[in-house]
Chains A and B, each alone.
Chain A
Amino acid sequence: SSELTQDPAVSVALGQTVRITCQGDSLRSYYASWYQQKPGQAPVLVIYGKNNRPSGIPDRFSGSSSGNTASLTITGAQAEDEADYYCNSRDSSGNHYYVFGTGTKVTVL
């Protein structure tokens, strides 16, 4: 099965830009989706596919991909963006097998 690796933690100054990366072989074939999880809450989808945002997600969130790496960028980070972020993609095992990344804790200073 595949693995998706993320940096454990990143910090960003209020109003600045932060990029979170997700690396894995499956990303060469499949798009990543990204989830935000705040303490005590269920995950929330923030980005999917090439660069798509669900309704209600601010446009400061964007996604990109190159080779085996997917990225989530927060442009103009706000205090409420402090959370854990997880990538997810299909696993190389076949259809409807999935894997989550290891997660990144984003701290807004």
Chain B
Amino acid sequence: EVQLVQSGAEVKKPGESLKISCKGSGYSFTSYWIGWVRQMPGKGLEWMGIIYPGDSDTRYSPSFQGQVTISADKSISTAYLQWSSLKASDTAMYYCARLQVVAAMDLFDYWGQGTLVTVSS
């Protein structure tokens, strides 16, 4: 069974750093891209970026380039999303999702349960 299990909720202060995780199981972790999606309170889904754990090839949405870092450790089937200096505006739910590409059709077929990040002084 394919599963993406994310790390638990975090409460941080502005300026602090943070790294959240997404552990894949039940499939070949190195063979599928993993994307990250932000959902601010009461708002829609925003695509942040994506990584291919097989070779760590990474793409970022222009809106998030330079604001976050996406990485992966294929030895433990885990993808990461990190911030070096959090802002209150980073308060949101963050989801990871597996990208499947089938005959030129792109789909995020499995999702993590989400990690709630709260940034408050």
Contacts and interface: CB of A to CB of B under 8 A. Distances in A.
Do chains A and B interact in one complex?
A: yes
A49 B105 contact: yes
Interface in B67-106: 95, 97, 99, 102-106
A33 B110 CA distance: 13
A97 B59 contact: yes
Interface residues of A, number: 29
- By secondary structure, the A interface counts as strand
- By secondary structure, the B interface counts as strand
Interface residues of B, number: 27
B53 interface: no
Contacts of A49: 102-103, 105, 107
Given A1-B61, A42-B111, A98-B35, A30 B46 contact: no
Interface of A: 1, 30-31, 33, 35, 37, 42-45, 48-50, 52, 54, 84, 86, 88-90, 93, 96-103
